Amino acid sequence: MGNLFGTDGIRGAANDYPMTAEIALNVGRSVALLFKKQGHRAKIIIGKDTRISGYMLEYALISGICSMGGDAYPAGVLPTPGLSVITASSGADAGIVISASHNPFYDNGIKIFKSDGYKLSDEMEAEIESLLLSEIFSQQCRSVRETGSVYKIEDAEKQYAEFLKKSLESADKNDLQNRFTGMKIILDCSNGATYRVAPRLFADIGADVESLFVSPDGKNINENCGSQHTETLAETVVKRKADVGLAFDGDGDRLIAVDEKGNRVTGDQVLAICAKFMKQKGILKNNLVVSTVMSNLGFKLALKEMGIRHIESDVGDRCVLQEMRVYGAVIGGEDSGHTIFLTHHTTGDGILTALKLLEVMKAENKPLSELARVMAVFPQILMNVEVDSKPDIETVPEIQAEIRSVEKRLGEKGRVLVRYSGTQPLCRVMIEGPTHEETRQCCEQIVRAVRETLGIKKQ
């Protein structure tokens, strides 16, 4: 055992290591021990998405928490950002989400939040792994008189919806029910954690709402729907003559939008739209936006054109958040659709991002297709190569020669990013360029070098 935590919690195929009932049991025990206070039972909130394996892992976590004398508060199906909200507002010591985000139903994951609604630091994750490896459980298990209890939270979705509404109230507290009257919205809830709360919320604030993929069966989460697969959403937006389509991922922390013409609006575009609006309103603290190294070149050029400072982080919303807190930014995100509005929330929130995007559309009185022109999206090609080993890319002369060749060819019209996957034996080659064809040619040029020098050799 070891290295359980990846870039966003523990994740893997459900019922297979590390996403087993046994590991979940011991995660529950570890979290209960880690957050136990003198003379105080650890209070731990648990939320989940709609995967069939969620029950298995939820009950295992509850058993582990109670065996250490902690109290478990299951909140049922709840988006990840909603669990963060409930954890912070209820006086809980920690919160645990059971979800594998945008992955297929047969995967699952465990994410842990602290009492303030922020995800665990690397140091705290390491401490949990250390507890999992130790023999401390046998020494610390409570007698039957000291085991914890289970208290179901019945109104978690309502609490989360009220939190989201408050993000809008500063503009006009008396007109919340009619805030988006006249806007026709199509929602794609990915058969995931937003399937109840999102349609109710948008209807409550006056929008004309039609909802897709709101019939989860435990196995259809993210299946040809949601933020990764917006084709059906785009068709429906055009067919229904809607103003916008909003697609969430399985656990509701991502948003990808579709404009009134059926065009996909990326996370980078949403981030640029909101940053521009915030600057105009004088609320873009430190005139700064944070995004990852994977952000589109067009995003960086757009910020430069708008006179907005830009800081890059490593991949992952936790890394974005870390840089935001260090440099004092109030907005940051990823092209995949994670957007963090730090004035309102401690983590990426798909529904909150959707509300903020609708606010801009309403205030500017412009269609999303026009707002999205704030940045040009450069063609981007990403190719993965299976590798035998992961030496420092800069120490492999054959690969470096091809990278320099491509960089010289593209000049300021594109960029090259070659990096290893943090969780798989893969080298990722990402190229952006002026045309799709030239970008593909450049990507294939570097991929060939990677495959010849580091690729898995066939027997």
Report the CATH number at residue 405: 3.30.310.50
Q: What is the mean pLDDT of residues 393-411?
A: 95
Number of other CB atoms surrounding residue 221 within 10 Å = 32
- 19 and 132 part of one domain: yes
Asked if residue 124 belongs to a domain, the reply is: yes
Domain end point (choices 316, 344, 374): 374
Please say if the pLDDT value at position 233 is more than 80: yes
Please say if the pLDDT value at position 459 is more than 70: no
Q: Which residue has the tokens 């309102």?
A: 344
Give the single-character DSSP code of 135.
S
Asked if residue 459 belongs to a domain, the reply is: no
Q: Which domain holds residue 398?
A: 380-454
Cα–Cα nearest to 414, from 291, 297, 292: 297
CA 43 to CA 186: how far, in whole Å?
38
Reported as a single tens digit per residue, the pLDDT across 281-331 is: 999 999 999 999 889 999 999 999 999 999 999 988 889 999 999 999 999
Active-site residue 291, yes or no?
A: no
- 258 and 341 part of one domain: yes
Reported as a single tens digit per residue, the pLDDT across 41-91 is: 899 999 999 999 999 999 999 999 999 999 999 999 999 999 999 999 999
Domain count, the chain: 3
| Chain mean pLDDT for the chain | 93
- The residue annotated as part of the active site, out of 67, 101, 211, 291, is 101
Reported as a single tens digit per residue, the pLDDT across 109-144 is: 999 999 999 999 889 999 998 888 776 776 666 666
Query: Which segment, 29-33, 365-369, 409-413, is predicted with the most confidence on average?
Result: 365-369
Cβ pair 349, 166 in contact under 8 A:
no
Q: Write the CA distances from 365 to 150, 241, 313, 368, 372, integer angstroms.
A: 49, 17, 33, 9, 13
Residue 458's pLDDT is what? 61
- 335 and 222 part of one domain: yes
Print burial letters for 357-371: b (CB count within 10 Å at least 16), e (below 16).
bbbbbbeeeeebeeb
Cα–Cα nearest to 189, from 314, 309, 77: 77
Strand order in the sheet with 331-333: 309-313, 288-292, 331-333, 339-341
Q: Which residue has the tokens 């580091």?
A: 454
Asked if residue 305 belongs to a domain, the reply is: yes
Q: Which residue has the tokens 């990808």?
A: 256
Q: What CATH code is carried by the domain that includes residue 231?
A: 3.40.120.10
- 362 and 417 part of one domain: no
Q: What is the mean pLDDT of residues 5-20?
A: 91
- 150 and 163 part of one domain: no
Asked if residue 250 belongs to a domain, the reply is: yes
- 364 and 337 part of one domain: yes
